[in-house]
Amino acid sequence: MSNADDNPCDTDGVAHAFDLVLERTIDATPDVVFRAYTDPALLSQWFAPHPWRITDAIIEPRPGGRMSFVMHGPNGERFPNSGVYLEVVPDRRLVSTDAFTPDWKPAGQPFMVAHVELEPTDDGKTHLRAVARHWNRETMEQHIAMGFHEGWGQVADQLNALVKTL
């Protein structure tokens, strides 16, 4: 039996035991930030920490829709990423996971559920709250070792720079 603190898959907005969280103020309204997340051409410009890059982005922002891309490293590394959207609320929320394929088949060993919350601020900006929700401590610690804090922070800075140009 588990309690809520042991279940990283709750969707109540409360931090759980295996969450990694990034919060930032983005210099654009939520609709612009949402567009940067859901337009493959825009996502490809900011979603990987430089010098890494994204190609082959496919974004179908609807429950069950596909999110996939290939992340390329500076030394020829190539990491395909794919998953599905679980929840999409235009201009407010995107929830996706790598646990399923677009036809709802289990995708193998799941890594996380990503929650992106966009909250408008009084000054026309967006409070971004991005949560990587892991199933267990091992995958959370693996994500930390992969550079979650540095990488997601750099990506948020890149997002902020891009949306200022839109």
How do residues 1-55 score in pLDDT, each as one tens digit?
A: 233 334 334 444 555 789 999 999 999 999 999 999 999 999 999 999 999 999 9
pTM above 0.85, yes or no: yes
Which CATH entry fits the domain spanning 20-163: 3.30.540.10, 2.40.50.70, 3.30.530.20, 3.40.50.300?
A: 3.30.530.20
Say how far apart CA 91 and CA 31 lie, in whole Å: 5
Say how far apart CA 84 and CA 132 lie, in whole Å: 15
Q: What is residue 106's DSSP assignment?
A: B
Share of the chain above pLDDT 90, in %: 80
Place 107 in a pLDDT band, splitting at 50, 70 and 90. Answer: confident
Quick one: average pLDDT of 153-158? 95
Q: Is the pLDDT of residue 144 over 80?
A: yes
Where on the phi/psi map is residue 124: left (φ > 0), alpha (ψ -120 to 50), or beta? left
Per DSSP, helices labelled H in the chain are 30-38, 40-46, 137-145, 148-163
Tokens, residue 90? 């235009």
Domain ranges across the chain: 20-163
